[in-house]
Amino acid sequence: MASLLGKTVVVTGASRGIGRATALALAKEGAQVIVHFGGHARDADQVVGEIRALGSRAEKINVDLAAPDGPHRLAKRAKEIIGGRLDILVANAGIFVPSSVDDLTVDEFDKLFAVNVRAPIFLVQQLRPIMCVESNVIFVSSLAVRSMIGGFAAYAASKGALETIVKYLASDFGPHGIRVNAVAPGVMETEMSAFARADEGADHALTMQAIKRMGRPEDIASVVAFLASNEARWITGEVVQADGGSQL
């Protein structure tokens, strides 16, 4: 029996990579999925089509989460589609800036924190009124928070902020029956980790990992699907490391 039958879900950044795999994994469990995207409309259409082919409901929403009112617009549109009850929010959309602190610009820093930190916080704020007992929120952090990877300082700081938010929100929302967790992927085979597609980058990732293959979006999606399900009902305020045993 599908474990998320009748549940409503918003997945940000669901046009590609981890978000796409997550949207599909949750839809396979019977959820109705809002497929949020930024610039890749055709990819989002494809995800919506695949979800509908599975027999689940899906709609896409296009909002730039780097804009200050992006989360507010996304939440407003999501409420129009799903109505008064949101069961699962997966705040996955994120960006990476491959600059060391020496090279980092103020614009890069501001955009990084706008998309990776500000947008998830305000999205939770805006969607909180339609979360209910047993709703849950899942953020997507990164291995970079606990493992020093060259040139990742600002990106890692943005994800470190998210992990702090997980603890606070889990504490604040717990009395209302709402769980808040995060998953922290290692190096994944997606557009974001372009460096890992070069032999040198892939070698570096594989050297770090206990399991000697590249991480795939589906490896993270299955963890999110577990955290989102009632099977994880006693887990909140946690960051689940899903990185093939990196930097053990």
Q: Considering the complex, what minimum distance in angstroms separates the CB of residue 212 from ligand NAP?
A: 17
Q: Of the listed 15, 28, 159, 246, which one is catalytic?
A: 159
For residue 41, list its beta bridge partners.
none
Q: Please report, to the nearest 10 degrees, the dihedral formed by the alpha carbons of residues 126, 166, 35, 223 taken in order.
A: -160
DSSP state string for 134-145? EEEEEEE--GGG
Count H helices and E strands in the chain, helices first.
8, 7
Concerning whether 168 is annotated as a catalytic residue, the answer is: no
Q: How far is the CB of 136 from ligand NAP (least distance, A)?
A: 18
Instruction: Please report, as ranges, the residues that interact with ligand NAP according to CB under 6 A.
Output: 13, 15-19, 37-40, 64-66, 92-96, 115, 140, 142, 185, 187-188, 190-193
Q: How far is the CB of 29 from ligand NAP (least distance, A)?
A: 20
The active-site residue, picked from 142, 158, 193, 246, is 142
Catalytic-residue membership of 142: yes
Asked if 93 and 16 touch (Cβ cutoff 8 Å), the reply is no
Which is nearest to 48 in space by CA: 38, 63, 58, 36? 58
From the CB of 10, what's the least distance to ligand NAP, in Å? 13
Catalytic residue among 135, 155, 193, 246: 155
- Rounded to 5°, angle at Cα 118 from 170 and 99: 115
12/56 with CB nearer ligand NAP: 12
Residue 147 is a catalytic residue: no
Active site residues: 142, 155, 159
